[in-house]
């Protein structure tokens, strides 16, 4: 595609098994999943000017969303509007908000960057983003092997800076030791932090008189967990965990307030405040007009739109509607959390298309924000909905 700001570079190495083994040794152990090639052994390079705009847009949007959370904070009508489960309201109200720009120190924006370079924000995962190993370890390695520099090289030092402040004693995920991606993610974060941190399986943790403990009765005081905070509303021990956080016996990272940033309903709040002329200054309004898609709590569109759960993850619950408002496509792979949480409705945006060894695919552009700094590109390529079945492809800059 000659007129695209993206360029696919390289051809897959004839000895894939050797390359996969090299990545495995670096900590990226799921390049192949159940005989499926998750990693595409090629690179996508975006134009330097688009990358610089993306970095600037990420920085501005980060501040706008932070400002919106501070507007929503302790307002139960707005908690309800953005889908935050009532069981968490007391915890969110009683705990002080972190300092500006640092509600979440470990987050990832997902953008639609079209072939012409136009940028639109699809969502922010400010609570439990994955893709860290792909972005911080695999991407720089793939690019370096081919003689390119990666803009992702600062990710490790920014994680170390974040965790030097937060100092978790434990990192946890569900099915630690079995789930390759989540286990590999927390292990890489622990390694990059340089701290002495224990890794645990969330399913083996329990709350005893307000204290969180592991299976050996070790009390956990400060925990980073790849555990979506909205699940406290539906898990059996969720109320006990919320109480442990609320009473200060347990400090969680990301901060509990990251659920306010995480909700896709927050984008509807941003858009509503923008339309009403509230909260934002002229510069912020310009950023919103340029990069934020019209997003509402109801399907009010005359053209094509997307519906998704306010707490949908990995493409789960995403439904695409055409210009006539008819359902065109829905995700069949991810868990549909719209049964548990309300939905938002967002104007559709065009993902770039790239020609790869796996065929013509749509490219989703991720940008990590670590310790408040936009710093790491994540390329995922797949269908119109980027879900669990999508591929990872290293994303760099020309």
Average pLDDT over residues 222-238: 91
Q: Note whether 369 and 325 are within 8 A (CB).
A: no
- CB-CB neighbours of 319 under 10 Å: 19
How does pLDDT run across 95-130, given as a tens digit for each residue?
999 999 999 999 999 999 999 999 999 999 999 999
Residue from 57, 81, 56 nearest 68 by CA: 81
DSSP tag of 298: S
- CB-CB neighbours of 276 under 10 Å: 8
Provide, rounded to the nearest whole percent, the portion of the chain with pLDDT above 70. 96
Q: Count H helices, E strands: the chain?
A: 12, 22
pLDDT grade for 304, boundaries at 50, 70 and 90: confident
The DSSP annotation for 99-147 comes to STT-S-SEEEEEEEE-TT--EEEEEEE-SS---HHIIIIIHHHHHHHTT
**Tokens 């997003």 map to which residue?**
295
Record the tokens describing residue 43, joined without a space: 């690179």
Residue 228 above 80 pLDDT?
Answer: yes
Pairing label, strands 319-321, 305-309: antiparallel
Average pLDDT over residues 277-284: 98
Radius of gyration of the chain from its Cα atoms, rounded to whole angstroms:
20
Residues 6+ positions from 165 with CB-CB distance below 8 Å: 105
Record the tokens describing residue 279, joined without a space: 């909260």
> Nearest 5°: phi and psi at 41?
-80, 65
Query: What is the Cβ-side half-sphere exposure of residue 288, based on CA atoms within 13 angstroms?
Result: 27
Residue 201 above 90 pLDDT?
Answer: yes
What distance in Å separates the CA atoms of residue 372 and residue 126, rounded to the nearest whole number? 11
What distance in Å separates the CA atoms of residue 205 and residue 207, rounded to the nearest whole number? 7
What distance in Å separates the CA atoms of residue 41 and residue 10, rounded to the nearest whole number? 8
What distance in Å separates the CA atoms of residue 351 and residue 345, rounded to the nearest whole number? 18
Q: Which of 109-113, 142-146, 372-376, 383-387 has the lowest mean pLDDT?
A: 383-387
Average pLDDT over residues 272-279: 98
How does pLDDT run across 162-184, given as a tens digit for each residue?
999 999 999 999 999 999 999 99
How does pLDDT run across 239-259, given as a tens digit for each residue?
999 999 999 999 999 999 999
Residue 391 above 50 pLDDT?
Answer: yes
What distance in Å separates the CA atoms of residue 132 and residue 317, rounded to the nearest whole number? 23
Which H/E stretch holds residue 7?
Answer: strand 6-9
What distance in Å separates the CA atoms of residue 142 and residue 106, rounded to the nearest whole number? 23
**Tokens 């005893």 map to which residue?**
208
Q: Note whether 296 and 268 are within 8 A (CB).
A: yes
Domain ranges of the chain: 6-152+258-263+353-397
């Amino acid at each position: 595609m000659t007129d695209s700001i993206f360029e696919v570079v390289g051809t897959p190495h004839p000895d894939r098994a050797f390359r996969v083994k090299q990545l495995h040794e670096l900590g990226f152990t799921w390049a192949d999943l159940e005989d499926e090639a998750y990693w595409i052994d090629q690179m996508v390079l975006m134009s330097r000017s688009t990358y610089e705009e993306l970095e600037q847009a990420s920085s501005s949007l980060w501040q706008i969303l932070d400002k919106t959370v501070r507007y929503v904070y302790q307002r139960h009508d707005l908690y309800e509007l953005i889908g935050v489960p009532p069981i968490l309201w007391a915890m969110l109200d009683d705990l002080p908000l972190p300092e500006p720009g640092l509600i979440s120190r470990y987050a990832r924006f997902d953008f639609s960057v079209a072939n012409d370079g136009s940028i639109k924000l699809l969502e922010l995962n400010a609570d439990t983003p994955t893709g860290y190993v792909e972005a911080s370890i695999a991407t720089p390695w793939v690019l370096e092997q081919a003689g390119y520099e990666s803009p992702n090289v600062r990710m490790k030092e920014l994680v170390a800076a974040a965790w030097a402040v937060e100092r978790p004693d434990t990192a946890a995920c569900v099915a630690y030791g079995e789930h390759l991606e989540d286990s590999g993610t927390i292990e890489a974060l622990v390694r990059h932090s340089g701290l002495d941190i224990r890794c645990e399986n969330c399913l083996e943790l329990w709350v005893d008189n307000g204290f969180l403990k592991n299976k050996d009765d070790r009390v956990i005081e400060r925990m980073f967990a790849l555990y979506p905070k909205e699940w406290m509303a539906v898990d059996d021990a969720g109320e006990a965990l919320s109480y442990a956080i609320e009473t200060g016996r347990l400090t969680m990272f990301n901060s509990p307030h990251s659920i306010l940033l995480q909700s896709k309903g927050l984008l509807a709040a941003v858009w509503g405040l923008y339309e009403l002329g509230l909260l934002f200054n002229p510069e912020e309004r310009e950023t919103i007009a340029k990069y934020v898609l019209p997003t509402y709590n109801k399907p009010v569109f005359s053209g094509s739109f997307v519906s998704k759960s306010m707490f949908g993850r990995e493409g789960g619950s995403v439904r695409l509607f055409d210009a006539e408002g008819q359902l065109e496509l829905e995700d069949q792979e991810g868990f549909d959390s719209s049964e548990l949480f309300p939905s938002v409705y967002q104007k559709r945006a065009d993902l770039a298309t790239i020609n790869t060894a796996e065929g013509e695919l749509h490219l989703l552009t991720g940008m990590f924000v670590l310790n408040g700094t936009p710093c790491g590109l994540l390329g995922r390529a797949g269908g119109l909905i980027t879900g669990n079945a999508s591929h990872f492809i290293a994303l760099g800059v020309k």
